[in-house]
Amino acid sequence: MQAPFRLGLIADIQYADCEDGTDFSGCEQRHFRNSLNIARNAVECWNAVGVDAVVQLGDVIDGCNAKMNASETALAAVLNVLSRSPAQRFDLIGNHELYNVKRDSMTASGLRCFGPDGLTYYSVHLGDRWEAIFLDPYEISLIGLSQDDSGFLEAQEMMRQHNPNVLTGAKDWFKGLPTSKHRFVPYNGGISPQQLSWLKTALENAEAQARKALIFLHVPLFEAATKAKTVVWNSEEVLQVLHSHSDTVVAVFAGHDHNGGYGVDAAGIHHITMNSPLTAEPGSDCYAVLECHSDGWAHFLPHGRACVESNTDGAGQAYPQLILAKGSKNLPGDSDERSPGADSQASLQGFKTSRCNLAQSGIDPHIIGSENSDQSLRPAAAATWAMAVMVKTRSAEPVAGISRGSMWTREGHPGDLLPDSDKTQMKSDPVSFEPLAVEPSSDESGGHGSTHPILWASNVVRRVCRSIIQAEAYTLQAGVEDGGIMRASITDIFGCLDMTRWEGKSLEQTLSNPKCNKHSDKRLIIEIAPLRQELWRKAGEKAGDRFYDDYKPADDQMTDIVRWIDTDVMIADPLMTKVMEPTKLVEALKLPHSTWSRRSKVS
């Protein structure tokens, strides 16, 4: 499998060397100096992960720098940090760039806002299968343009039509203005007809080359992924173009709205509005890594509260990840453990600091360490972890037990107990990256015994690991599978593998549970969603749960019903496994042929 193309993402750093403040309303707390700390953390994380490119979504410094005559020094400070990443960087034009730097001076200032043709909208290849399309939402604007520029004149005309308050000098731009027109304010802008025409051609080219497209711009296009006051003036025109190529366009990324948001439009395109480091609590993070996979889907991996529920003033639940693919449903939900003071640039908010340390210079990323080890592991996507599967014996007698770190079990698992004559019970104590082994229980062996390696494998974690605990979890999955096979095999050798005790009822319960979207396995949620659409149908409906509203019709209204059939009445099971008694099957076979019907029951 080809490695994904990785992007580092950050929006609205808005750094300024000044004391903390608020926005104009006094409601939004802004931590101007701390935003540079988050940028440093982001770069260190991106370097550890090995991103192929970085997209800075605009507003790299705050407009207050212009009032303090500090635009040049503030911009140099942030670009100095961002330049520590060797990856190619793409800078987008935001309103705060235009407050601080003239368009014709941006390149000289160090910003990389222009494409090879000298335009502020352009596209680039991301590996073999993806296309990045960068747009300029301020071609039609009241800021950054001379008053005789056609884009400025068109912006004035739009204000006359939609929000005259702006042109009359009113202090409150929104007074008497319907919500549908809240976007028509000076800090937003519009996209010109020329840029729209270019966008159509760029998408046609991407489509012809079988490339998936990602759209990047500073101002959001989809109101459901932000709020009414932070949307491109002519967003409907832009969305119309994107929707005409919805099989090609996977997602749209924006900033601008510091409180962030996420939504999926009618064409199935994902819209991600990233939160701002400016408003992140000191000690937390706010950036992301995007993995673009060769088979056409992308994985958004936020660090800290980089994307939260829309229209919550930034206080909603954060998205722990986003699967960006047609038909995928992403659900917010913060981790149980919160770590706003984590000092590691690799920590995803919600993991303990002690379990999120990055490898320091000189530490071998291939070292295996336990939870209590002082050695750290580099959270890179290609970090290699070694796993040993061992068998412990007592003298020459084969005994069984699962060592610490191998797996966890629950009461009722078919391989829990071995024969009473051996008096050896399966063990499972959670600990990080200790060898998987078969050993006597501690009360039998006193913790001593011979160890013989029978398998040694070195595996690559092919996902971005933002913390040690996450890499542990991925690798432990493989260990759990190996441990389960070993345990079941040994249990079967002793003639004690009880196949009747395997549980399968959980899927039926999950399909019937309106809250199945709370399952911790996000990929499993994606798999279950189409099952619910297929099964939660009322008579006459083509699909059930069409809007993922978690409303299950009553059984007497449903076309199809999922039922759990208990093992003891599965009459065909004895044909599949020797441990099943054939009593029910024999009883059924003795019934006269005439008694078989849809109403017949085998008691």
DSSP string, 152-166: HHHHHHHHHHH-THH
Which domain CATH number covers 30? Answer: 3.60.21.10
Final residue belonging to a domain, choices 322, 348, 370? 322
Number of residues assigned to the chain: 603
Rounded Cα distance between 519 and 592, Å, is 46
Beta strands (DSSP E) in 95-211 are: 122-126, 130-134
Token pair in block for residue 124: 């680039």
Run of H or E residues at 529: helix 522-535
In a domain, 573, yes or no: no
In a domain, 355, yes or no: no
Domain that holds residue 203: 3-322
Residue 405 in contact with residue 431, Cβ under 8 Å?
Answer: yes
| DSSP reduced 3-state for 46 | helix
* Beta bridge partners of residue 35, listed in sequence order: none
Phi/psi of residue 155, nearest 5 degrees: -65, -40
Which whole-number Å values give the CA distances from 107 to 14, 17, 64, 347, 414, in the listed order? Answer: 19, 23, 21, 34, 67
What is the structure's pLDDT at 557? 72
In a domain, 493, yes or no: no
Q: For the sheet containing 88-91, what is the strand order?
A: 88-91, 53-56, 5-10, 286-292, 298-304, 322-324
In a domain, 318, yes or no: yes
In a domain, 458, yes or no: no
Beta strands (DSSP E) in 185-297 are: 212-216, 249-254, 261-264, 270-273, 286-292
What is the structure's pLDDT at 357? 32
In a domain, 474, yes or no: no
Would you state the torsion angle of the CA atoms of residues 66, 70, 74, 75, taken in this order, to the nearest 10 degrees? 60
Per-residue 3-state assignment (H helix, E strand, C coil) for 494-517 = CCCCCHHHCCCHHHHHHHHCCCHH
Final residue belonging to a domain, choices 299, 322, 345? 322
Counting as low any pLDDT under 70, the low residues of the chain are 1, 334-492, 494-534, 537, 539-540, 542-552, 555-556, 559-570, 572-573, 576-580, 592-603
Rounded Cα distance between 181 and 163, Å, is 7
Rounded Cα distance between 315 and 21, Å, is 18
Q: For residue 584, give the nearest of 566, 599, 598, 597 by alpha carbon.
A: 566
Q: For residue 119, give the nearest of 95, 97, 96, 139 by alpha carbon.
A: 139
In a domain, 83, yes or no: yes
Residue 113 in contact with residue 120, Cβ under 8 Å?
Answer: yes
Count of beta carbons in the 10 Å neighbourhood of residue 285: 29
Would you state the torsion angle of the CA atoms of residues 167, 172, 173, 178, taken in this order, to the nearest 10 degrees? -130
Final residue belonging to a domain, choices 295, 322, 349? 322
Rounded Cα distance between 283 and 349, Å, is 10
- CA 131 remoteness from chain centre: 20
Rounded Cα distance between 43 and 85, Å, is 6
Which residue in the block uniquely carries the two structure tokens 């660090």?
Answer: 303
Structural domain count of the chain: 2
In a domain, 539, yes or no: yes
* pTM exceeding 0.85: no
